[in-house]
A and B are shown apart, each in its own frame.
Chain A
Amino acid sequence: MIISVASGKGGTGKTLIATSLALSLRNKAQVQLLDCDVEEPNDHIFIRPVIDRTEAVGIPVPVVDEAICTRCGRCAEVCAFNAIAVAGEYVLTFPELCHGCGACSYLCPEKAITEENRETGVIESGKADSIDFTQGRLTVGEAMAPPVIRKVKERTNNDGVAIIDAPPGTSCPVVESVKGSDFCLLVTEPTPFGLNDLKLAVATMKELGIPCGVVLNRAGNGDKNVIDYCESEYIPVLMTVPLDMEIARLYSRGITLAEGIPAWQKEFIGLFDKITEIVDERNRCPER
C-alpha cells in the first residue's frame, strides 16, 4: 500500500506525521519511507538513516553534432520549451530549459542530435533500523523537481507499506509525488491559512482520484472551520495532534513525535488501521 502525506500549506507537519507513521509501523510491516520533498528533504533529520546508495539523476539534454547538422531548424520547431534554436549558422541549446522529452533527437532528419545527461540532483537510499529509506535532493539552483521525484518513486517497493512525504503546494511536484498513491493524508492546522490550502489540496486529490483523510495538527488555539469543512465535505479527520510546546521542542531538535513521546505510536498504528479500512472498503466498492 502506498500512503502519501501532503498538505497544501507548508510547515503544517507533513514530516512529523510521515516519519512518525514510518517509525510506528516498523515492527508491524515492511516499511519504506520516500522523501519526495526534493527541494527541502527533511525526513533524514528525524530518522537518521545510514545512506549506502547514491545515484545522480538528471535530464537528457541534446548535443548537436554540428558537422552533420544542416541547420534545417526542425529541432527548434518541435521543441515546446525553446530549449534549442537555430540562428544563422549556429545551433544553440539551452539545457536549463530542456525537459528531456527527446523530440529533437528523434525527429532530427540528419540524426545529428544525441543526448547527454545533465545532472540536476541525487537519489540517496539506505536504512534506518528496519525502515527502507529513499530521498531525492534537487541541486541548489536547479528549477525542475519532477524528474528527481520520478526517480525517487521508481524505488517504491509495492510489497509492504510505502510512505511518501510530499512537498507543499498543489502544483506539478505535488502531483508527481502523490500520483499512484492508494491514500493521501492531508496534514493541516486549524487556521484560515490551513483551511484555504487544505481546500486546494483536497481539490487536487479529487482531480487525481486519490481518497484522502485529514490530520489536524496544532489543534487548540485555532478556530473550528477546518473541522466544519471536513464534515461538510465528508472528509474524515483521522487524527488530531494538539498544539504543545513539548512536541514543538522535540521537533526543533530533530526528534519526531513517535520517538519523543512513544505513547503516540499506538495512535499512529490506529491511524494506519483506519487508512487500511478506507482503502479496503474502496477496493471492494470501487464505484465509490
Chain B
Amino acid sequence: MKEIVVLSGKGGTGKTSIVGAFAYLAKSKVMVDCDVDAADLYLLLQPEHGEEHEFWSGQTAVIDGAKCTHCGLCEQLCRFDAIHDLVVDDASCEGCGFCANVCPAEAITMKENLAGHWFISKTKYGTLVHARLGIAQENSGKLVAMVRQQAKKIAEESGIELIISDGPPGIGCPVISSLSGTDLALLVTEPTLSGQHDLERVIGVCRHFTVPALVCINKFDINDANTRKIEAYCRNQGIDIASKIPYDSKVTEAMIHGKTVMEYNPNGAAQHMEKLWNIIIDRLGG
C-alpha cells in the first residue's frame, strides 16, 4: 500500500483544491483529511453522513473546592501557568497531572478530555476519513494519527492500494504526525517570499523524517522571478518540481460551488493537476 501526503508549510497555497482534483482522478483510494484543526476537504467532496466517533485524548485538572485547603502548592508548581487563584484554566492545562500528584489534600483529579470527533464518510470518489478537533483542544497530532490509522484499516480491508492525504499547514506536531512513514510528500508552494521561506522549512522536515518529496509551484505566473528562484533552490536540493500550475480563478469558483476543479472546469489549472497526478502515480509505482 502507498500513502501520499500533500503539505505546504505556508497555508492557503492550494493543498485542498489539489487533493480534490486527485480525488476525482485517482481510481481506487481512501482519502484522509489530516488537517484536523480546519478540515475543508469534505466541502469539495460533499460526503453523505457516515460514521461518527468520539476522540478522547489527554486530561485536564479539576480542583474539588470542598477538599482544597488553599495551600497554593499546585499553583506554585504548575509550569504552564494554568492555575490562578486555585481555578484551573482549561485552555492552559497541559494535562501533565503534576498538581494532582502533589496536592496534599488530594483535592485534584484529572478528567479525560473529549478532544474531538472523527468520521468515516462515503463520497462519490470513495471513502473519506476526516476529523474535527474540539474547540481549543490539544493533541491534534494524536487525532491525525487516528484518522491515518483508520484510513489504512479501511484500505486493507477493502484491498485498496492507495491513500491520499490532505495535510495541515506548518511544520509542527500535526504535520509530523501526517508525514511520518508516508511514501511521498507533495509540497505545494506559491511564488511568494513567504511561500519559498516556508517551503524550505517543510523540505527540512521531509528530510528529517526521510520521506521523499516532490514540489508543485501553484499560481506560478504570479511572480516569474520568484518561481525561478524556487526552481533553482529545488534543483540545488535535488528535489524535482513536478508541476507549475498557472493562476486560474476557476479553482476558487469550483470551491464556491462545492466541486473539485476537475468537475467544474477541466481546462486551465485542472489540466496541470491531471498531469501532476500522472507524475505522482509514476513516482509511487517506482
Report yes or no: B97 in contact with A252, Cβ–Cβ below 8 A: no
Within the assembled complex, what's the spacing in Å between the Cα atoms of A100 and B80? 10
Q: Does A72 contact B (CB under 8 A)?
A: no
Report yes or no: A249 in contact with B249, Cβ–Cβ below 8 A: no
Q: How far is the CB of B52 from chain A (nearest CB, A)?
A: 17
Which of B12, B59, B172 is A10 in contact with, Cβ under 8 Å?
B12
Chain A residues closer than 8 Å to B53, beta-carbon distance? none
Within the assembled complex, what's the spacing in Å between the Cα atoms of A102 and B77? 8
Within the assembled complex, what's the spacing in Å between the Cα atoms of A145 and B140? 12
Q: Does A238 contact B (CB under 8 A)?
A: no
**Which partner residue on chain B sits nearest A222 by CB separation?**
B256
**Which partner residue on chain A sits nearest B253 by CB separation?**
A221
Q: Does A223 contact B (CB under 8 A)?
A: yes
Chain B residues closer than 8 Å to A253, beta-carbon distance? 192-193, 223, 226
Q: Does B278 contact A (CB under 8 A)?
A: no
Instruction: Identify which of residues 21-54 in chain B touch chain A, using a CB-to-CB cut-off of 8 Å.
Output: 36-38, 40, 43
Report yes or no: A191 in contact with B252, Cβ–Cβ below 8 A: yes
Chain A residues closer than 8 Å to B256, beta-carbon distance? 191-192, 222-223
Q: Does A170 contact B (CB under 8 A)?
A: yes
Interface string of B174-196 (1 = CB under 8 A from A): 11110000000000001111110
**Which partner residue on chain B sits nearest A43 by CB separation?**
B194
Q: Does A244 contact B (CB under 8 A)?
A: no
**Which partner residue on chain B sits nearest A143 by CB separation?**
B173
Report yes or no: A169 in contact with B12, Cβ–Cβ below 8 A: no
Report yes or no: A168 in contact with B96, Cβ–Cβ below 8 A: no
Report yes or no: B135 in contact with A40, Cβ–Cβ below 8 A: no
Report yes or no: B10 in contact with A171, Cβ–Cβ below 8 A: no
Q: Does B71 contact A (CB under 8 A)?
A: no
Q: How far is the CB of A169 from chain B (nearest CB, A)?
A: 3
B interface size (C-beta, 8 A): 64
Q: Does A110 contact B (CB under 8 A)?
A: no
Which of B40, B136, B176 is A207 in contact with, Cβ under 8 Å?
B136
Q: How far is the CB of A219 from chain B (nearest CB, A)?
A: 12
**Which partner residue on chain B sits nearest A11 by CB separation?**
B12
Chain B residues closer than 8 Å to A106, beta-carbon distance? 77, 98, 102
Q: How far is the CB of A160 from chain B (nearest CB, A)?
A: 23
Report yes or no: B12 in contact with A251, Cβ–Cβ below 8 A: no
Report yes or no: A193 in contact with B255, Cβ–Cβ below 8 A: yes
Which of B11, B102, B172, B173 is A107 in contact with, Cβ under 8 Å?
B102
Report yes or no: A196 in contact with B38, Cβ–Cβ below 8 A: yes
Chain A residues closer than 8 Å to B262, beta-carbon distance? none
Report yes or no: A191 in contact with B137, Cβ–Cβ below 8 A: no
**Which partner residue on chain A sits nearest B171 by CB separation?**
A39
**Which partner residue on chain A sits nearest B11 by CB separation?**
A10
Chain A residues closer than 8 Å to B266, beta-carbon distance? none
Report yes or no: A251 in contact with B192, Cβ–Cβ below 8 A: yes
Within the assembled complex, what's the spacing in Å between the Cα atoms of A167 and B194? 14
Within the assembled complex, what's the spacing in Å between the Cα atoms of A15 and B170? 14
Within the assembled complex, what's the spacing in Å between the Cα atoms of A138 and B176? 13
Within the assembled complex, what's the spacing in Å between the Cα atoms of A203 and B190? 30
Residue contacts A-B, CB under 8 angstroms, 29 given: A10-B8, A10-B12, A10-B169, A11-B11, A42-B198, A78-B98, A101-B96, A103-B96, A106-B102, A138-B172, A141-B176, A141-B204, A143-B172, A168-B11, A170-B133, A170-B136, A171-B37, A171-B136, A172-B138, A172-B140, A174-B136, A175-B91, A175-B136, A191-B255, A192-B43, A193-B255, A208-B91, A252-B192, A252-B222
Supply 19 further A-B pairs (C-beta < 8 A) apart from A40-B171, A101-B79. Answer: A8-B37, A11-B12, A11-B13, A42-B197, A102-B98, A106-B98, A106-B102, A143-B177, A145-B173, A169-B170, A170-B38, A171-B133, A179-B91, A191-B256, A193-B40, A196-B40, A245-B222, A254-B192, A254-B193
The 5 closest A-B pairs by CB, nearest first: A10-B11, A11-B12, A169-B37, A101-B96, A140-B204
Which A residues contact B (CB, under 8 angstroms)? 8-12, 15, 37, 39-40, 42, 45, 78, 80-81, 99-103, 106-107, 138, 140-145, 167-175, 179, 191-193, 196-197, 200, 203-204, 207-208, 221-223, 245, 248-249, 251-254
